[in-house]
Amino acid sequence: MIISNSLLFKFFKFKNSLFLLLYYIVITNIPLLILTWYLNASRPIIVLDYVLIFPLMFFFENKFFRILFIILFILVYIVDCLIWVRQFFPFMRFEDILTLSQMLFDGPNIYKILIFTSLILFFLQNLILFKLAKKINIPEKKIGIVAGIILIIILYCNLPANKDVGMYETKGWINSQVLYVYRLKDNLLYNMLSWQANLVSSPFIPASYSWWPDKKLKHDMSKKTLLIVHESWGYSNNSTLNKEILQKFIVKKDNFVYFESGHISALGATIDGELRELCQLKSTNFNLKSIKNGFEECLPNQLKRRGYETYAFHSASSTIYDRSYWYKKVGFEKSTFFENVKNPILCYSFYGNCDSNLFSTVGGIFRKSNKSFVYWLTLNSHYPYDLKDLKLKPRINCIKYNMLLGSEECRNVQLTTQFIDQLAEMTSDISMKGVEVILVGDHEPPIFHKSKNYKIFKENSVSWIHFKVKT
């Protein structure tokens, strides 16, 4: 009877410890899972890293272990949040985080909400966990530690074995965000610590392919050229929508020597789209400042050797993606960024100058230069596609194309169409006579609240147009 009571006592203690562990797993995972569900993003249901530090809770009466738990929990929480945020912003380096944090209060409301929510959830989690730890009594410690170790082993044995982890592949039942960082080829750690990057050939053919000197040209390259890499311009599965987006160009076709359009395959972040079009290259991570050689044969350098003046424009900060450094390396003689604009008008989708303010500046280059190559990386169609950046009355009927009004797809299409309409209008300016233009998307637009019944954009594809204005 004594043995029976003793076994029963241990069983209930084990049961209590198990419930404590399960409660801990719920508390540490449910907040970000709710945000993940709301934004249709990706995250493992159980992040193993929280479970690894669980046994420390059984030693909370010791100040050392209590502080150790707090430090480790903060580190795991930060890694968890950064890997989660990486779905929205592939760049994650200390200098980029600092740059963006200074601009937070001028940015989109969704970012303010996410950061504020994350901080609130963090403090609530810790408050609950500390109260939970106080309820643990001495006899439960050994049983709880054993239960925790057993669960860690079980969970670790069920981790995905695939080491070829993609940018958004952080979902599934169980995973380790810390291990994800380690496995990722151009991982968060490499970027944050500014480790060495290397240039490799891009797997995709650029829209600017016909401009490269060693290619057989379909059209002779003009003395005045404009390459625009447009933020988040995808290619719709609906051909009618693609045509309507370009409608302002189609009605002006008689003003062009030629006008061509299509789509190409593309994958990665904005910087991948830039390097694809400018250099036919790809970087192994985002620390381009660490690259000393390899940019010599990029298109601007080749054109500069052929007598072209080379200019670059971008409405965001030059520090992001090290553009102030590598734009010089690829061959741009003069670059204009947000900090170079005297009286910028702020836009909302991403902190920076409004693209609409650059049309006259770009036109001015062609007005004064007889042989120039101008590169323009747009900004205002960046996720989350804030409609406060919409200055023109939208002409695309989203409902007609199975897009809900106000949805991410609809907002993206409306902002993209606005820029294309403004560019079409710009071609009527006298400064654009004889100018050859290529406009191409950098990557497929990130859409997190996807339609369950219909996918608007073709996966891993971007649109392009190529035309020359008559003299």
368-417 pLDDT per residue, tens: 999 999 999 999 999 889 888 998 899 999 999 999 888 889 999 999 99
3-state secondary structure of 342: coil
Distance CA 254, CA 252 (A): 5
Q: How many CB atoms lie within 10 A of CB 401?
A: 18
Per-residue pLDDT tens digits for 134-178: 665 545 555 555 555 655 665 555 555 444 444 444 456 777 777
What are the two backbone dihedrals, phi and then psi, of residue 440, each rounded to the nearest 5 degrees?
A: -145, 145
The pLDDT score that the predictor gives to residue 455 is 82
Distance CA 204, CA 221 (A): 22
Confidence of residue 292 (pLDDT cuts 50, 70, 90): confident
Angle at 263 between CA 261 and CA 269, to 5 degrees: 130
Sign of CA dihedral 234, 201, 188, 176: positive
Q: How many CB atoms lie within 10 A of CB 40?
A: 12
- Of 55-64, 321-330, 455-464, the range with the lowest mean pLDDT is 55-64
The pLDDT score that the predictor gives to residue 30 is 81
Distance CA 81, CA 85 (A): 6
The pLDDT score that the predictor gives to residue 165 is 41
221: nearest Cα among 436, 36, 459: 436
Extended beta strands in 254-353, E state: 256-265, 281-283, 309-314, 334-336, 346-347, 352-353
Mean pLDDT of 198-210: 92
Distance CA 39, CA 418 (A): 26
With beta carbons less than 8 A apart as the criterion, state whether 193 and 97 touch: no
441 HSE (CA, 13 A, CB side): 30
Which residue would you say has higher pLDDT here, 304 or 220? 304
Distance CA 336, CA 324 (A): 9
The pLDDT score that the predictor gives to residue 18 is 64
**Structure tokens belonging to residue 65:** 């272990």
Distance CA 355, CA 316 (A): 10
| The one-letter amino acid at 242 | N
With beta carbons less than 8 A apart as the criterion, state whether 443 and 267 touch: yes
Which residue would you say has higher pLDDT here, 286 or 7? 286
